[in-house]
Structure 1
């Protein structure tokens, strides 16, 4: 029986942009989700609104899917970009999707915004989506789960394609100065996949991907895992916790920054919980087996 523990997520990824954020920065929508200068302004404004120490990009979970050919509704200040319509119904169509070109489109603009913010001295957290979040923007879930259950060998090829794209995105982000990557795939969690499929996904996708990511991170970057992903790795014996004593109480995200060079991964709490303080002064690193 699976030992994976589910993490009950209570945070919405995008809660809208209120007038407090936009009234003094002269940006328009949906340009703020599409052009790097507007993205950077919006990221700084949200940081100030939330009294945070980190800028966060992008403002949605559709970026990678769009770069693969997905059709996106960009939304406005009330709701961020989201899937507009599906473009695939079969595994073969997914496998025929083009490789991501990181030099053009919205994904290139996000990387430009990251570079600009880092050059201005801002700390940036880049959100990277996992396979089910990406696929749910490209294909109706009923088709996806049919492939997953009835064509596992084909699903493996799809996973390999997405591994390459996600790794490539992280590599480009590192080149752009990003040193904190947040990885999440809530639509591929235990509560949706169930124990058996969750274990299979860790074995054929999640663990191999993070071994590859581990190899490219170096000592100056860290990946903050969604706890759903962290607990899946831990529950299948692919990773272990390791306590790091920071010597004093700090906020969780600050602790993640401090342990760069001493850990490649962490993930004990959702990073949307910006008020979480590590009162004990101990943060948990995740070491892959």
Structure 2
């Protein structure tokens, strides 16, 4: 087996809105984070401010956790939504959480915003969180890692629960016209889990998840993996690079759109690195084993 290497993330902790965006939209916070029309307006304003060719939603990593019943502090324009109080202290409580209802709450509003933006001709990036990021909203991380060490079978059951939820979210995203799904789970990265647990998670959760997603993806959708996830798959021999020659240098974000229909997965760079250039005109796509 190869070795998992880490990716130094500098984008996951970015929070809040720039002063220019807040002044331009004249929206009220935190209400702007809750309704589809204000979300869409914000997404377009951010796209124009950053001079990119896609809109991105949501503006935090708490969406799925909240939809599962988590307690959220919605913040303001300076600090976006974040976890408030943990609602689970045991594995049984975590396993007992109801399935996400995509027809109500903020998660439904996000999907409405995605649909609106798609109908307006925008490329839409929907950020979907991995299990540790979701659990971080619901349970104290100390309990999570204790579960992993002392009761791995129960932890697997919890991961299976989240795998099903993430797969359902991917399906709902495609129904809403999302053509770029960004997946990240920095809370479950190598720097936090360590090599042994990272390998276990890649094999019992990450690889099966993306094999299932691969079957569900239509030709008009691509998945943008966080490089931390990419390297976990490569390092456990669950995936390999496949190069696509673009014919000319271009931004990574532009290349991701260009190869929709040619590849299911990319993940050599964080999509939030909006100025990253593929100077050699080659994008590395990911082929699962």
Equivalent-residue separation in structure 1 for 2:287 and 2:275 (angstroms): 25
Classify the secondary structure of the residue corresponding to 2:134.
helix
Equivalent-residue separation in structure 1 for 2:275 and 2:24 (angstroms): 26
CA contact (8 A) 1:16 1:80 kept: yes
Classify the secondary structure of the residue corresponding to 1:170.
helix
CA contact (8 A) 2:222 2:264 kept: yes
* 1:50 CA displacement: 1.1
* 1:27 CA displacement: 1.3
Q: In the TM superposition, what are the counterparts of 1:12-91 in structure 2 within 5 Å? A: 12-91=12-91
Counterpart of 1:143? 143
Counterpart of 1:8? 8
Counterpart of 1:131? 131
Equivalent-residue separation in structure 2 for 1:203 and 1:276 (angstroms): 30
Counterpart of 1:170? 170
Classify the secondary structure of the residue corresponding to 1:174.
helix
What TM-score do you get using the length of structure 2 for normalisation? 0.98
Q: In the TM superposition, what are the counterparts of 1:79-228 in structure 2 within 5 Å? A: 79-228=79-228
Equivalent-residue separation in structure 2 for 1:156 and 1:276 (angstroms): 36
Task: Provide, for residues 34-53 of structure 1, a one-character-per-residue CA deviation record: whole Å limited to 9, x for no partner.
Answer: 10000001111111111121
Task: Provide, for residues 30-69 of structure 1, a one-character-per-residue CA deviation record: whole Å limited to 9, x for no partner.
Answer: 1111100000011111111111211110000000000000
Divergent runs of 4+, >6 A: none
* 1:15 CA displacement: 3.0
Gaps of 5+ in 1: none
What TM-score do you get using the length of structure 1 for normalisation? 0.98
Classify the secondary structure of the residue corresponding to 1:165.
helix
* 1:2 CA displacement: 6.0
* 1:224 CA displacement: 0.4
CA contact (8 A) 1:13 1:60 kept: no
Equivalent-residue separation in structure 2 for 1:208 and 1:214 (angstroms): 10
Equivalent-residue separation in structure 1 for 2:12 and 2:62 (angstroms): 14
Counterpart of 1:260? 260
Counterpart of 2:238? 238
Equivalent-residue separation in structure 2 for 1:175 and 1:12 (angstroms): 27
* 1:11 CA displacement: 1.6
Equivalent-residue separation in structure 2 for 1:91 and 1:237 (angstroms): 30
Equivalent-residue separation in structure 1 for 2:49 and 2:86 (angstroms): 34
Equivalent-residue separation in structure 1 for 2:278 and 2:231 (angstroms): 19
Equivalent-residue separation in structure 2 for 1:208 and 1:111 (angstroms): 25
* 1:26 CA displacement: 2.9
CA contact (8 A) 1:253 1:274 kept: yes
Classify the secondary structure of the residue corresponding to 2:247.
coil
Gaps of 5+ in 2: none
* 1:260 CA displacement: 1.2
Equivalent-residue separation in structure 2 for 1:276 and 1:267 (angstroms): 13
* 1:12 CA displacement: 3.8
